[in-house]
Amino acid sequence: MTLTLPQKTNTKKTSAIPEAARKILRDGFFAYLGTAEPGCVPHVTAMFYIWDEEKNFLYLVTSKESQKVLNIRRNRKVSVTIDVRDPTSPARNEGVMIRGVAFLVEMEVAYEYLMLRYLEKYAEFLGTGYPLGSRIAIRVTPRTISYWKGTEFYKWKKPRK
């Protein structure tokens, strides 16, 4: 008996970040940030984010003492997934996964315009007495961006300079 194993999924390589992926990054509300603890033990949390369209950066804001910040201090490789989920058909599920490097940015230094956008986007969640003081921003520089819709897969890789 011979078993024919399925081939690798056909992933199409793109030279630019697909427009559909950009749309998801712009409109998404929750991002899932994966970090790794020593020994390659994964950790994942749901977070708020802002996508910087011009520079292709993703900003996430969190508290300074959280586990993910601790993990990033030790290992800067992270993965962020933002997706649109549809409980009726898997063909309509689409999403973006970013793999890249994280930098911790103190709030005072963080780009003011983006922080304003952040406060505006999540106004209902943050409330009036939101303490920005104990917060820290995580800036993710994408190395690869994968986008999928249904069975279609696209992958963008940051060109080497």
Q: Does 96 bind another protein (CB under 8 A)?
A: no
Q: Does 28 bind another protein (CB under 8 A)?
A: no
Single residue of 14, 22, 23, 81 touching another protein by CB under 8 A: 81
Q: Measured between alpha carbons, how far is 140 from 143 in angstroms, rounded to an integer? A: 9
Number of residues that bind another protein (CB under 8 A): 42
Q: Which of 98, 86, 99, 88 is nearest to 149 (CA)?
A: 86
Spacing of C-alpha 156 from chain mean position: 14
- Nearest Cα neighbor of 17 from 158, 159, 156, 140 is 156
Tell me if 95 contacts another protein by CB under 8 A.
Answer: yes
Q: Is 158 in the site for another protein (CB under 8 A)?
A: no
Q: What 3-state DSSP class applies to 23?
A: helix
With CB under 8 A as the contact rule, the residue among 85, 159, 160, 161 that binds another protein is 85
Q: Which two tokens stand for residue 22?
A: 């950009």
Contact between 111 and another protein (CB under 8 A)?
no
Candidates 8-16, 18-26, 109-117, 134-142 — which segment interacts with another protein by CB under 8 A? Answer: 8-16
Q: Using CB under 8 A, which of the segments 15-23, 34-42, 51-59, 103-111 binds another protein?
A: 34-42
Coil vs helix vs strand at 84: strand
Structure tokens at 96: 């973006």
Please say which residue, 54 or 124, places its beta carbon nearer to another protein: 124
80 is a contact residue toward another protein (CB under 8 A): yes
In sequence order, which residues have a C-beta less than 8 Å from that of residue 54 and are 6 or more positions away?
none
| Nearest-angstrom CA–CA distance, 75 and 26 | 27
132 binding another protein? (CB under 8 A) = no
Residues that bind another protein (CB under 8 A): 3, 5-10, 29-30, 32-36, 39-46, 75, 77-81, 83, 85, 87-91, 93, 95, 97, 99, 124-125, 151
